[in-house]
Structure 1
Amino acid sequence: MIDRRSLIRNSSAASFGALALAVVSSGSQLAYGATDQHHSHDGHGGEDGFPANLTHAERKHLQIFDELDFEIFTGQKWDRLHESHARNIRVHWPDGHFTDGIDKHIADLAAMFVWAPDTRINEHPLRLATNQLTAVTGVMKGTFSKPMPDGKGGFIQPTGKTYSITMATVGIWNKRNTMDEEYLFWDNQSFYAQIGLG
């Protein structure tokens, strides 16, 4: 049995891949193709697009995560982030740093919309769920259309370039159906290159 917490704590692209493989090999089924449109029955499970054998908790976690990305994040409804995130959540970012607490996470998410107001996630191509763990891929898109704060009191002028990056989020859920920890993965080099800063 793989200790998922130690695997995730020492995260890298390779360990994320190993985690996904472990979920698949353990017999958990995949939930495919979630978008912000109605789920269609595609032969992979129930009529709502989820595998038929998910537990109630696993199904609820994936449903909450869909709502998080498609409605709350994309719509900047920060007053609803507590529906998916625990107050003391620890969030691990792709560059290796982490933050603690929902208020800091809201500030970080809101900062993305300052320079790319059309930032959005409208699809989850692949979703995994097993027990208190979910792993979801998404496609985040936006346009570098407004000045970007450089962290030194100045601004980087917009390039007008669009971006579309595949990302993955691993969440560890508690019994209150909120995440205690969230791990975000995407390729920063590709991201900066797409917006003209790489």
Structure 2
Amino acid sequence: MLDRRSMLRTGGAAAFGAFALTAVAGGMTPAEASALHPQGNGLLPDPATTPVPNPPFPAHLTHTERKHLETFDELDFEVFTHADWKRLGRSHAENVRVHWPDGHFTDGIDKHISDLAALFVWGPDTRILSHPLRIAKGDMTCVTGVMQGTFTRPMPDGSGGFIKPTGKKYAINMATVGLWNRHGVMDEEFLFWDNQSFYQQIGV
């Protein structure tokens, strides 16, 4: 049996890509896929610069797989976008481990709430309203999204000072891999985005 955690930690891009292809192959129908690609070439534009409609859920999902994706949509579109942290427990376990793009990880939902809330200190309009790709297999999900906002308030620099707001907007592609437990919440979450592009866009 494939060890999902070993695949993520040691299998690299090839294993992750194999998982994604396997999940997609059993999911969306050609008609559904073509509806998302009116240009007819079957390829997505860059979702961060060209709006992409949220696709229907893949076909042939189990009830649990669909529920995980529905919960994740609610997490980003409602809980995160509206900074409604009291509802984060609907998608995250109390002892959730969250892996960040720079390689560090945190443990516990309270720490994760603190980290998420920090994004809204300098960018109160921070939001995620787009999930161009949504796949699920067993107790694993992978969802891509577009996180966007505007650097309009001072940003804490971690040393007691602040970075002056630039007023610049950002829109970055991101991906989240979630490992779900039998209670329907994530025990572990892996966040991926390009930090260099992010800082360049906000002028830092």
Q: Tell whether the 8 Å contact from 2:28 to 2:59 is kept in structure 1 after alignment.
A: no
Aligned CA-pair RMSD: 2.0
Among 137, 145, 161, the residue aligned to 1:138: 145
Instruction: State how 1:43-192 maps to structure 2 within 5 Å.
Output: 43=32, 49-192=56-199
Deviations 1:137-180 (A, max 9, x none): 00000001100000000000001110000000000000100000
Distance of aligned partners of 1:114 and 1:182 in 2 relative to their CA distance in 1, 3 Å threshold: same
Please state how far the C-alpha of 1:3 moved relative to its aligned partner: 2.6
Distance of aligned partners of 1:124 and 1:108 in 2 relative to their CA distance in 1, 3 Å threshold: same
Q: Please name the residue that 2:39 is paired with.
A: none
The amino acid across from 2:121 in the alignment is V
In structure 2, what is the Cα distance between the partners aligned to 1:80 and 1:13?
32
The amino acid across from 1:138 in the alignment is G
**TM-score calculated relative to the size of structure 2:** 0.83
Is 1:4 the equivalent of 2:4? Answer: yes
Among 19, 26, 29, the residue aligned to 1:28: 26
In structure 2, what is the Cα distance between the partners aligned to 1:74 and 1:131?
27
How many residues end up aligned between the 2 structures? 182
Instruction: Describe the SS at the equivalent of 1:43.
Output: helix
Distance of aligned partners of 1:165 and 1:14 in 2 relative to their CA distance in 1, 3 Å threshold: farther
Please state how far the C-alpha of 1:15 moved relative to its aligned partner: 5.2
| Alignment gaps of 5+ in structure 1 | 32-41
**TM-score calculated relative to the size of structure 1:** 0.85
In structure 2, what is the Cα distance between the partners aligned to 1:191 and 1:182?
20
In structure 2, what is the Cα distance between the partners aligned to 1:160 and 1:78?
26
In structure 2, what is the Cα distance between the partners aligned to 1:154 and 1:111?
15
The amino acid across from 1:74 in the alignment is T
Q: Tell whether the 8 Å contact from 1:167 to 1:185 is kept in structure 2 after alignment.
A: yes
- List, as ranges, runs of 4+ consecutive aligned residues in structure 1 with deviation greater than 6 Å: none
In structure 1, what is the Cα distance between the partners aligned to 2:17 and 2:160?
39
In structure 2, what is the Cα distance between the partners aligned to 1:22 and 1:49?
18
Q: Percent identity?
A: 67
Please state how far the C-alpha of 1:9 moved relative to its aligned partner: 2.3
In structure 2, what is the Cα distance between the partners aligned to 1:22 and 1:95?
28
Instruction: Describe the SS at the equivalent of 1:167.
Output: strand
Please state how far the C-alpha of 1:13 moved relative to its aligned partner: 5.5
